[in-house]
Amino acid sequence: MPASTLRAAGMVTLVAAALLGSAYALGRSLVPEHPPQGTGVAASVHAPRYGDQPPSTDFPGPPAGGYGGPSPDASPSAPDQARQGDDSEGPYGAQITTGSARVALTFDDGPDPHWTPQVLALLKEYGVKATFCVVGENVESHPDLVRSIVADGHTLCNHSWNHDIGLGKLSPEAIRNDLLRTSDAIRAAAPDARIAYFRQPGGAWTNPVVSVCEELGMTPLHWAVDPSDWQAPGADRIVDTVLAQTKPGSIVLMHDAGGDRSGTVEALQHLLPELLHRYQLEALPTGTT
């Protein structure tokens, strides 16, 4: 075969190879890359603090509102079903009413050095006693605020050490240690305070957490009215929800910590005089005179 023919054939081969390579590269560029799986790396290094935790999706909320509590319409296992109360009780038999015509305001996740004093000042201005469900690590950081809460005649409630919504899924021993650590911090700040109640973070009640809190002499405390002020919906929304849903005997859930609570503070300026016009407001009793 002549040399010129061989050179021509070689050129054709090279051109064909180049075209095939280009086509392959083009095809690869049109296929979307799959993100890496199972890296175990969080999407953000700025994880939310306890007060900004979303509701637990493992514990669907009750129809009347609230976040994280087991739904009465759910189909729990037989042991769980045994702890469900009647219509006057909350999930797993937790308390949701005062047992009288009086209404109880409760404030969760504090104490907070910015918001708790403002809530206390408003309550004092209107002569209202309330119940504060306090988080252990905040109690340890701000014992003076715990003493202020007690000095003003309000009731204290154990709200776990660091607002772990999954607390009820831990072993009874781990739950007991968490609750005892929190109660010890409260008593270190206010030795004479009685801790008669425990509120499960997120309302995510389970049999073990109810059993342990009762074993330690505390009543499981839920709620009947939840304006979702932890989501900061604005003062008007908080006011409208509380006034629409509150009735004689209601326990109302609000927050004095865990995020921006300016809406709650503003809402209280409107709620307190209106609620006092409609109801008697009380701090939940501690079982002492």
Query: 240 catalytic, yes or no?
Result: no
Bridge partners (DSSP) listed for residue 156: 132, 195
Q: How far is CA 150 from the centre of its chain?
A: 24
User: 226, 229, 255, 256: which is the annotated catalytic residue?
Assistant: 255
User: 108, 164, 178, 226: which is the annotated catalytic residue?
Assistant: 108
Q: How far is CA 141 from the centre of its chain?
A: 20
Phi, psi of 182 (to 5 degrees): -70, -45
Query: 255 catalytic, yes or no?
Result: yes
**Cβ atoms 59, 67 nearer than 8 A:** no
Burial of 46 (0-12, 13-18, 19+ CB in 10 A): exposed
| Angle of helix 207-215 versus helix 172-189 axis, rounded to 10 | 40
**Cβ atoms 155, 286 nearer than 8 A:** yes
Bridge partners (DSSP) listed for residue 89: 95
Residues recognised as catalytic: 108, 255
